[in-house]
Amino acid sequence: MADPKYVKIGLPETKVMEECSELIKAICKAERFGWDTHHPEYPPEKTNAVVVCEEIDDVVARCAELKEAIKTRHLFDFEIIRKPPPLLTDDKQAC
């Protein structure tokens, strides 16, 4: 969860990357130590599962901010982003 002092610092892109890294870290800890366990400094009810859910909420919120920033900056035609990529034909390779 973002510290209120830093809410207005950083680009939306950077915030998404940072929150994604926190989510990855929380998932790794849950996988390693158990979803129902908790960090020694946290209360018992704040299990690793709860922490992962909180981090998911943070990622979703930052992604919404980034999506709005993309629309506002007109960096992309948003209709193009929503369209699925064209299927590869036999003469085109993925890599």
pLDDT tens digit sequence for 43-69? 999 999 999 999 999 999 999 999 988
DSSP state of 77: -
The residue that leads in pLDDT, 6 or 41, is: 41
Report whether pLDDT(85) > 70. Answer: no
* Segments making up each domain of the chain, as ranges: 11-82
Q: Do residues 26 and 56 lie in contact, with contact meaning Cβ atoms separated by under 8 Å?
A: no
Encoded tokens for 5: 């002092």
| pTM metric for this prediction | 0.71
First-to-final CA distance of the chain: 38
Q: Distance from CA of residue 4 to its chain's centroid?
A: 18
Backbone angles phi, psi at 22, to 5 degrees: -65, -40
